[in-house]
Amino acid sequence: MEIKDIFLKLTEVDAPSGYEEPMMRHMLSELTPLCDEVHITPRGNVVGVQKGTDDSAPSVAIEAHMDQVGFIVANIDDRGFIRFRRIGGALERTLMGQHLRAVTDKGPVTGVIGLKPGHITTPEEARTVPPIMSMFIDVGAKSREEVRSMGIDIGTPMVWAAPPVELANGLIASPGVDDKAGLTSLIAVADLLKDEKIPSTVYYLAVVEEENGLRGAYSVLYDLDVDMAVAIDTTSAGFQPEVNMRDLYYEVGKGPAIHYGEQRRGGQVSVVHHHRVREWLKGAADAEGIPYQENFQFGGTDAGSMAKTRAGIPTASIALPRRYSHSPIEAFYISDLEDLVKVLVAAIRGLRPGFSLSRA
């Protein structure tokens, strides 16, 4: 499988946080021919298993989240204009004039986020981003009833309608890179390992609601016999106008990010990842000559949730650096995603009985 093709296929599946059912079905379809067992949990997490050859070798889970930042219908007025709210962390400044797509039982419906005509916009208004509570969506309907006839009602989820675009040098800009890049990695790793006899059992976890409280990851490992886990996500990159290395450490085109842990705004470290798991990833990359970067993830990921499961699962995270986070133009180099997959494959192939997870 070509990694770019896997990713582009995933961009055709809408999965706003809390409404991941289309992606559940897609991941079930993709993982079923690659794994010995696949099932969907009551929470909605998709779990694939490739059984290892040696029960004494450590089992490992690699995990990515199915959901993307999105929006939800909050009100429809009698003229057919739609008020909406955010699901996840999209900023207001990314919204004005954008296309959105409603995900309905009758099929997708495209709309645009309207704005006040420039001819009557005051200079102060022109310099200000209005709050989402003041924004509205126009789907071309003339009444509330017509909107409802399209399959849209209060509670209908929406996503950005922008298509993926390939720019120069393999830079891809698309909505939903967070975390369709991680899902791409799950499928690619499973495909590369499907015919190999490796000692360790590998679990492929596609989970729900990372963007809305890390909820899926809290429960996904509870009934799985997993010794260690790796969360695969994206991470914000700097090295662009108005952003410097002091603010964001990672750079696109320099390989995947292997995190020391996670930090909040203001420089407070909130999670330190398990040293043995992190060094296992780094050691595999070093042995294969695969480029990577090291620092802290800005913000939380599912790694922090999985590490709290049961008595505590040794967990680390690896991420794809991308520009313009939580926008319709999240941008990354396909070479970085390819290298991320190579690190995971090399690390899993190298696991053997006796691998120690002890920190003492």
Task: Return the active site residues.
Answer: 210
The residue among 149, 145, 325, 146 whose CA lies nearest residue 233 is: 325
Within a 10 A sphere around the Cβ of 52, how many other Cβ atoms? 19
d(C-alpha 162, C-alpha 40), whole Å: 29
Yes or no: say if 193 and 185 are a contact pair by the CB < 8 Å rule: no
The residue among 335, 273, 329 whose CA lies nearest residue 303 is: 273
What b-and-e string marks burial along 116-135, b requiring 16 or more CB atoms within 10 Å of the CB?
A: eeeeeeeeeeeeeeeebeeb
Tokens of 180: 């369709």
Quickly list H helices, the chain: 3-10, 21-31, 123-126, 144-149, 177-193, 215-220, 275-288, 302-306, 334-349
Tokens of 46: 């998709």
Amino acid at 18: G
Within a 10 A sphere around the Cβ of 336, how many other Cβ atoms? 26
* Cβ-proximal residues to 161 (8 Å cutoff; 6+ apart), any chain: 98, 99, 100, 101, 110
Tokens of 288: 């294969």
**What totals of helices (H) and strands (E) does the chain contain, helices first?**
9, 18
